Structure 1
Amino acid sequence: MKHYLIAGAALLLSTSALADECANASTQLELNTCTAQQYQTADKKLNETYQAAIKRAAAPQRDLLKKAQQTWIALRDADCAFVSSGTEGGSVQPMVMNQCLAEKTVEREAFLASLLQCEEGDLSCPLPPGN
């Protein structure tokens, strides 16, 4: 339960940070570029956290985590395609898509990061505590 609260707090803080970074953009192209960079930054951080989780996971859990991550990626991409479908063909569509991808990626990274903070004896946490 504790790790869900940490993930939720991180998501709230990161969503406002994403909005602040593009506050000075004045054209749609600049907004599209900014949100694409935000997504790339979030994806890089997610990949780093995911690799740390994979290393910490016990052998049988690694396959489960890989499957969960692949399934999550498919769900994220499908959700964001749906979210941005209302702007199909418009110049704003890349921004809407990238914002969605960045927000969901930040949320997933926060969740995986919370799993790296497991305490000894926490049965709701699948990863062993760090050394």
Structure 2
Amino acid sequence: MQVLKVFALVLAGFWVAPSWADDCANAMDQFTLNQCAAADYATQDKRLNQLYGDYRKRLDDGQKQQLKDVQLAWIKFRDLACAFESASVEGGSAYPMVLNGCLTQKTAARVKELEQLAVCEEGDLSCPMPAQ
């Protein structure tokens, strides 16, 4: 059920993000703060999905499956960690903002990880593949 709530919030934030963009800098009420947090998360999630897809195209079949497994495990970790971190406000009006803030932060960190993997230098033995 929690996943459905988060999904609905993300979709709502995505659809209203352009109209709320100017309001986010001056948000004064919880509804607007929640919408802005959902829009921020939707932006980061879109970046992550684009980067993941682009990077995946460069991998061989075995690496693609490994990356998929890692990404699915990471998503589960992110969702569980953010549910835990926002549990103290669950049911409150600030819950969507706190949850989406956590999801945004963890997703942005994952974006940076994938960006680093996409540009590692030839000879870097800790890198799945060299930069193109």
Please tell me the TM-score bracket, short chain as reference: 0.7 to 0.9
Counterpart of 1:119 in structure 2 is 121
Shift of 1:59: 1.9
- 2:114 equivalent to 1:100: no
Q: What percent identity do the matched residue pairs reach? A: 50
User: SS where residue 57 of structure 2 aligns?
Assistant: helix
Counterpart of 1:49 in structure 2 is 51
**RMSD (Å), alpha carbons:** 1.2
Q: Which amino acid aligns with 1:52?
A: D
Counterpart of 1:3 in structure 2 is none
Q: Which runs of 5+ in 1 are unaligned?
A: 1-20
Query: What whole-Å deviation, never above 9, does each CA across 1:64-103 have from its counterpart, x for those lacking one?
Result: 0000000000000000000110001100000000000000
Shift of 1:27: 0.4
Q: Within 5 Å, give how 1:1-131 maps onto structure 2.
A: 22-130=24-132
Cα distance in 1 between the residues matched to 2:124 and 2:58: 15
User: What is the TM-score normalised by the length of structure 1?
Assistant: 0.80
Asked if the contact 2:124–2:130 (Cα under 8 Å) also holds between the matched residues in 1, the reply is no
Q: Which amino acid aligns with 1:56?
A: R
Number of residue pairs matched?
110
Q: Which amino acid aligns with 2:44?
A: A
User: What is the TM-score normalised by the length of structure 2?
Assistant: 0.80
